[in-house]
């Protein structure tokens, strides 16, 4: 910290020595709504220097005294050219008008207006706007951020219908998913089919998969930074969509014009309305809902306050009626025994942010954040009687919670130099299981609460010279696993099993059970070969102190999170990456090539046949593994003209090996094997074509190597029953997969005197009904082998949605 202070002082002194220059600072906003625009470009024609607004829409540029022409641009907005006479430090807010037709792009003055990667120092970052996401044909017509992320290079998943995504060889728990800075622990609805993010409420989405700035930490492979819209402070507006299975509505407007605005956005599925039509499902309910809300208060020119929140839940009410199993009650009537299961999982976040401008050069964001993911499972079994004494019930609860406080400062030293520093403080609370029931002979279970504290100061330095740019950062993360908790101790000469427990140690409240401290250097370098060509180099070290414990093909909503502690070490990931970006003349086309090599240390792996169910000694089921991943990603974008879209190809390899000191525990005899999501070849093509003023068509095609799998290789018999013996873990591969989705959008010409604008979107997901293999499994009955291939989506899924704005 002492060194950081010295550096800070040095740069501040240099600034004082400079004369005749003044700071111009302010916000870049949407003129129609007052919404701040992040990533907008401000460019001074005279000096040729430019800056980009930060994630809060704030910019600061140093200009010499005199007249200047500022050009401000942002994708989807008309460019603004503004003349200013600089005679002192000035605060100006610049308002941009949205394009009437976002396909007609303005002349590009700076890189940020396209998908160009030449201006971005950090290699391997992807920016997606809501309009990008909405153009991609979506499952059941519901624009989906996670599915949009999966169209990008370097991102894969185990398969259709699975929760989360894998970035450059990382597990799904290695992605830090932030919604208005609040971490999200389960980003899926319906077990992975839909993401929890309502595209109407989202302003911007950025995925960092290569260079990860020092202000981010806590997850080892990527950051998905999603920002919610603030709501118009100019006029009341609304938008929404009506689909066959979902509907959504967003309302926004000023509470006090130009000062205080609100945004409320809700979404609800109703596919369970069709369940009564199906015999197997008629007594069940399965639905989800979301609610996003935000209040933005522009207190004065130096202060803004934001309060935002998200609440979303999946609800399952299942009824297992055991017809035929009847019991006679005392009055002589018979009753079917029924079992009802009520299962809900919920995400809740709340963010309070304060933006404060200390000076023209020093900007602060202070965030206080609460995030909670919890599930509750309750079951009631009538036992066959109407009010029979045989009725049993139990409830089961589990949760993970975060309280976060993070002050973040940005010092705009000059147009070419920026420093960012702050400290992230996170208090974790994990409740693995609390079970209460009235079943005789069954204990109530409480595995207690595990706590963790993560404190991470960071500093980053951005500097741009004529051709050379650097983004260097250092983060120090300290994590402590805190009591009260009881930790088992094991015989070090034996594998960790319940049989090798030698005792236990109990730690008191807030006592440190185990702590870890690690430096996480980050470095990104860029050299501009010309204004349309750049090469990049980056290095990251990341530590992760919490782990998703899941041993199933697709993560389950009731998987639990476990902190690093006495028996589980933090995951360490090191990544070096390099990139080359190239834009054609006029930047009609943007190309990029990125390559990376990544190592993983202390990944959580599972013993063969791991029993994770209500296991208080989870460490007995886990193995530590090391791994590596490397790959090359080629991408091309076209953002202008009638035909827009992108095409990308990724070649990657992801392998791991378990590292137990006891050879008998290791999977595949301790040799490397491919991760479940290792898909060496992935090709994606997204294309949108504007057929006319009213009609446009969108399509997406993907081709991917089949994922690794484990096959039965032999058989034997025990007590007359057949069993399989299996190949090494993931020794085989499923067939390659491919899919095409298509959508058509019809937008009637809006009537001038009507505020209401509507459009119809219809199309099909998996348009040619390809049966992509999710898994292959075998059974032996009466010595008869049968092998099946399972496809999660094996048919075209048509959709139609009516979208509207008013």
Partner 1 sequence: MKSVYSKIALSLSIVNCLFSCTEEITVNVAHESQTVIFGELTNLNDEVVVTIQQTLSLNASESFQAVNDALVSLYEKTVDGNINIITSDFSVNQGIYTSNQTVTTTIGNTYWIEVVLNDGTLFKSEEETMLPIVPISEVTVDNEFDDVLNVSFADPTNATNFYKISVLLYNQGQLVSTNFTESNDVIFDGNDNASVEVDLFRFEEENQSIPEYDSREIRLGNINFTSYQFLLNQRAQIDANEEAGEESGGPSQLFSTPPVSLLGNITNTSTNTTALGNFTIISISVENQ
The strand pairing partners of 409, in sequence order, are 364, 421
Closest by CA position to 394, among listed 346, 432, 442: 442
User: Which of 352/776 has CB closer to partner 1?
Assistant: 776
| Token pair 């998987």 in the structure block, residue | 559
Cβ proximity to partner 1, 239 vs 272, nearer residue: 272
CB-facing half-sphere around the CA of 2: CA atoms within 13 A: 0
Comparing CB distances to partner 1, the nearer of 102 and 789 is: 789
Distance from C-alpha of 265 to C-alpha of 493, rounded to nearest angstrom: 57
- For every residue of 735-767, which 3-state class applies, written as one string? CCEEEEEEEEEECCCCCCCCCCEEEEEEEEECC
To the nearest whole angstrom, how small is the minimum distance from the Cβ of residue 637 to partner 1? 31
Least distance in angstroms from the C-beta of 333 to partner 1: 16
Nearer to partner 1, 251 or 792 (CB): 792
Sign of CA dihedral 732, 630, 168, 375: positive
* Smallest distance, partner 1 to C-beta of residue 396, A: 8
Q: How far is the CB of 480 from partner 1 (least distance, A)?
A: 28
* Cβ distance to partner 1 smaller for residue 231 or 384: 384
State in angstroms the smallest separation of the CB of 288 from partner 1: 11
Minimum CB distance to partner 1, residue 200 (Å): 24
SS3 192: helix
Return d(Cα 147, Cα 128) in angstroms, integer.
12
Residue number, 715 or 755, with CB nearest to partner 1: 715
For β-strands 21-30 and 90-91, DSSP reports them as parallel
C-beta of 731: minimal distance to partner 1 in Å? Answer: 9
| Distances 399 to 77, 195, 434 between C-alpha atoms, Å | 43, 20, 10
Of the pair 692, 725, the CB lying nearest partner 1 is at 725
Instruction: For residue 680, give the nearest of 175, 220, 169, 209 by alpha carbon.
Output: 169
CB 438 within 8 A of CB 378: no
- Distance in Å, CB of 556 to partner 1, minimum: 6
CB of 600 to partner 1, least distance (A): 19
Distance from C-alpha of 529 to C-alpha of 507, rounded to nearest angstrom: 58
Query: Shortest distance, CB of residue 552 to partner 1, whole angstroms?
Result: 5
**How far apart are alpha carbons 436 and 378 in whole angstroms?**
9
CB of residue 380 to partner 1, shortest distance in Å: 10
Nearest Cα neighbor of 265 from 254, 249, 276 is 249
The set of residues, in sequence order, having a beta carbon less than 8 Å from that of 316 and lying 6+ positions away, is 284, 285, 286, 341, 342, 343, 344
Residue (475 or 657) nearer to partner 1, CB: 657
Which residue, 105 or 173, has its beta carbon nearer to partner 1?
Answer: 173
Q: Which is nearer to partner 1, 42 or 433 (CB)?
A: 433
Closer residue to partner 1 in complex, CB, 606/700: 606
653 class by beta-carbon count within 10 Å (0-12 exposed, 13-18 middle, 19+ buried): middle
Residue 441 beta carbon to partner 1: minimum distance, rounded to whole angstroms: 4
For partner 1, the closer of residues 231 and 432 by Cβ is 432
Cα gap 388→327, rounded to integer Å = 10
Q: Give min distance, CB of 752 to partner 1, in A.
A: 43
Alpha helices in 91-205 (DSSP H): 130-135, 145-149
Question: Nearest 10 degrees: CA dihedral of 364, 365, 368, 370?
Answer: -160
CB of 185 to partner 1, least distance (A): 18
Q: 484 preceded by cis ω (within 30°)?
A: yes
Please identify, using beta-carbon distances, which residue of 503 and 752 lies nearer to partner 1.
503
Q: Which residues contact 521 (CB under 8 A, 6 or more apart)?
A: 473, 474, 475, 539, 540, 541
* Residue 636 to residue 644: CA distance in whole angstroms: 11
- Sign of the alpha-carbon torsion through 726, 730, 736, 739: positive
Minimum distance, C-beta of residue 791 to partner 1, in the bound complex (Å): 4
Nearer Cβ to partner 1 (9/328)? 328
Of 186, 178, 220, 572, nearest to 408 (Cα)? 178
Tokens at 626, concatenated: 């090391």
Q: Which residue's CB is nearer to partner 1, number 385 or number 521?
A: 385
Tokens of 135: 């153009």
């Amino acid at each position: 910290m002492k060194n950081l202070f010295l550096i800070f002082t040095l740069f501040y002194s240099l600034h004082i020595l400079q004369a005749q220059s003044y700071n111009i600072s302010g916000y870049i906003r949407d003129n129609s709504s007052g919404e701040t625009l992040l990533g907008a470009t401000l460019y001074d024609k005279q000096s040729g220097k430019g800056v980009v607004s930060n994630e809060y829409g704030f910019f600061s540029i140093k200009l010499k005294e005199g007249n200047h022409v500022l050009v401000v641009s942002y994708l989807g907005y008309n460019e603004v050219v503004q003349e200013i006479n600089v005679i002192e430090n000035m605060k100006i807010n610049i308002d941009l008008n949205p394009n009437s037709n976002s396909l007609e792009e303005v002349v590009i003055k700076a890189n940020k207006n396209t998908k160009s990667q030449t201006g971005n120092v950090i290699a391997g970052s992807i920016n997606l706007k809501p309009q990008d996401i909405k153009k991609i044909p979506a499952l059941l017509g519901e624009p989906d951020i996670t599915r949009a992320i999966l169209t990008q290079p370097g991102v894969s998943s185990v398969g259709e219908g699975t929760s989360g995504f894998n970035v450059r060889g990382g597990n799904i728990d290695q992605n830090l998913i932030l919604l208005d800075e609040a971490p999200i622990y389960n980003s899926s609805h319906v077990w992975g089919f839909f993401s929890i993010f309502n595209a109407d409420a989202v302003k911007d989405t950025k995925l960092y998969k290569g260079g990860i700035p020092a202000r981010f930490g806590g997850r080892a492979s990527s950051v998905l930074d999603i920002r919610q819209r603030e709501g118009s402070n100019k006029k009341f507006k609304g938008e929404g969509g009506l689909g066959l299975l979902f509907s959504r509505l967003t309302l926004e407007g000023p509470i006090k014009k130009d000062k205080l605005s609100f945004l409320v956005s809700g979404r609800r599925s109703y596919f369970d309305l069709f369940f009564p039509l199906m015999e197997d499902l008629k007594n069940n309910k399965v639905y989800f809902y979301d609610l996003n809300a935000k209040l933005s208060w522009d207190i004065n020119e130096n202060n803004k306050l934001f309060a935002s929140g998200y609440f979303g839940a999946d609800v399952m009410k299942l009824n297992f009626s055991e017809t035929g199993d009847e019991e006679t009650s005392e009055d002589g009537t018979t009753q079917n025994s029924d079992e009802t299961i009520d299962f809900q999982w919920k995400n809740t976040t709340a963010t309070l942010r304060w933006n404060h401008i200390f000076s023209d050069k020093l900007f602060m964001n202070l965030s206080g954040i609460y995030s909670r993911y919890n599930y509750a499972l309750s079951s009631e079994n009538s036992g066959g009687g109407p009010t029979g004494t045989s009725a049993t019930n139990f409830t089961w609860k589990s949760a993970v919670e975060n309280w976060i406080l993070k002050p973040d400062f940005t010092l705009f030293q000059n147009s070419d130099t920026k420093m960012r520093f702050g400290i992230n403080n996170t208090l974790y609370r994990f409740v693995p299981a609390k079970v209460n029931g009235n079943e005789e002979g069954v204990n109530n279970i409480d595995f207690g609460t595990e706590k963790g504290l993560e404190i991470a100061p960071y500093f980053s330095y951005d500097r741009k010279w004529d051709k050379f740019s650097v983004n260097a950062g250092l983060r120090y993360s300290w994590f402590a696993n805190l009591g009260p908790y009881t930790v088992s101790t094991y015989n070090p000469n034996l594998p960790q099993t319940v049989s090798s427990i030698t005792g236990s140690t109990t730690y008191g409240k807030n006592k440190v059970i185990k702590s870890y401290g690690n430096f996480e250097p980050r470095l990104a370098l860029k050299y501009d070969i010309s204004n349309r060509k750049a090469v990049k180099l980056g290095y990251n070290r990341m530590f992760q102190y919490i782990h998703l414990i899941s041993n199933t093909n697709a993560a389950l909503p009731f998987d639990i999170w476990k902190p690093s502690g006495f028996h589980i070490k933090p995951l360490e990931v090191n990544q070096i990456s390099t990139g080359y970006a190239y834009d054609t003349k006029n930047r009609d086309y943007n190309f990029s090539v990125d390559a990376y090599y990544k190592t993983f240390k202390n990944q959580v792996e599972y013993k063969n046949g791991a029993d994770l169910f209500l296991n208080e000694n989870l460490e007995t089921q886990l193995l530590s593994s090391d791994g590596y991943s490397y790959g090359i990603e080629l991408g091309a974008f076209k953002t202008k003209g009638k035909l827009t879209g992108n095409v990308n190809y990724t070649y990657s390899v992801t392998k791991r090996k378990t590292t137990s000191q006891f050879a008998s525990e290791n999977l595949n005899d301790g040799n490397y094997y491919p991760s479940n999501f290792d898909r060496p070849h992935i090709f994606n093509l997204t294309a949108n074509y504007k057929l006319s003023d009213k009609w446009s068509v969108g399509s997406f095609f993907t081709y991917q190597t089949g994922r690794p799998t484990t096959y039965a290789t032999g058989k034997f018999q025990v007590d007359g029953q057949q069993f399989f013996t299996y190949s090494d873990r993931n020794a085989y591969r499923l067939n390659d997969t491919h899919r095409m989705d298509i959508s058509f959008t019809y937008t009637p010409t809006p009537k001038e005197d009507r505020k209401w604008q509507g459009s119809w979107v219809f199309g099909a997901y998996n348009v040619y009904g390809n049966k992509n293999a999710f898994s292959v499994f075998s059974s032996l009955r009466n010595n008869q082998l049968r092998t099946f291939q399972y496809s999660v989506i094996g048919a075209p899924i048509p959709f139609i949605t009516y979208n509207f704005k008013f």
